[in-house]
Amino acid sequence: RDFDKWSQVDAWFAEKLAPEGPDLKYTLSNNSEQGLPTHDVSALQGKMLAIFIQMTRAVRVLEIGTLGGYSTIWMAKALPQHGSVTTIEFNKHHADVARQNINNAGLTERVELHTDAALDVLPMLKAPFDLIFIDADKVNNPRYLEWAIKLSKQGTVIVGDNSVRGGSVIDSDSDDPNVQGLREFIQIISEDERLEATAIQTVGEKGWDGFVMAIVKTI
Ligand code: DHB
Ligand code: MG
């Protein structure tokens, strides 16, 4: 029952504050038709990423984990004309669908999509990015963070999705490698003096989860 209420509040806020245009609606229906998992951020989270981009005046954005491009499109639309999102997706089918969705949104010029393992693509990217969204396999989060810092400048914002996972993040005995990757990711952030960070838990249509957010203070 509580879950219903959280979802209803999410839906109401989303309708008021983060309505999806036809491009985002098409993305979700195309993803569903083509059998992609429904792991996209919520509309309100997509809008939050868009707000972060505007708050930081980001021009170059990096996303690790494209899925069908739902968050990619939210972020690309928030950028200035000369801005760009570089996004990386390992799964070829997911990347094909993302490319359709990005084309349909008229954002092809503003999005550079790499279909490969992120750990192979990251070393080839030009630094720095202004905002980096980490939303791929959580096992590799510590490695993604290391690259995110290498690709940062002073003031770069790093956001990690799925940092709560239904509360399992505090289970030190978890045998889920994703949970252990997440815990290590947060431990590294907490110990790295170049970073200042916080975490925010969310409830709503995506269940109980959250974002970790860090700013690079010095590099
Ligand atoms: C999973 C991954 C995600 O990025 C997400 O937002 C939700 C779930 C998963 O792999 O289970
Ligand atoms: Mg996610």
CA of 196 to the centre of ligand 2 (A): 22
| Residues at CB less than 6 angstroms from ligand 1 | 39, 135, 161-162
Q: By alpha-carbon position, which residue is closest to atom 3 of ligand 1?
A: 39
- 15 residue type, one letter: E
- Domains of the chain, first to last: 2-216 (3.40.50.150)
In this structure, what token pair is assigned to residue 129?
């990015």
In this prediction the ipTM stands at: 0.95
Q: Which of 28, 36, 39 to mutate to test the pocket of ligand 1 (most atoms within 8 A of CB)?
A: 39
Mark the residues whose beta carbon lies below 5 A from ion ligand 2: 135, 161-162
The atom number, within ligand 1, closest to the CA of 137 reads 10
Q: Nearest CA to 36 among 84, 128, 124, 100?
A: 100
In this structure, what token pair is assigned to residue 179?
């949970």
Strand order in the sheet with 60-64: 111-115, 84-89, 60-64, 131-134, 157-160, 209-216, 195-202
Q: Which residues contact 118 (CB under 8 A, 6 or more apart)?
A: 64, 65, 88, 90, 136, 140, 144, 147
pLDDT tens across 97-114, in order? 999 999 999 999 999 999
Average pLDDT value for the chain: 97
Count of alpha carbons within 13 angstroms of residue 21, beta-carbon side: 10
Answer yes or no: are the C-beta atoms of 73 and 107 closer than 8 Å.
yes
pLDDT tens across 155-210, in order? 999 999 999 999 999 999 999 999 999 999 999 999 999 999 999 999 998 999 99
Does residue 2 carry a pLDDT above 90? no
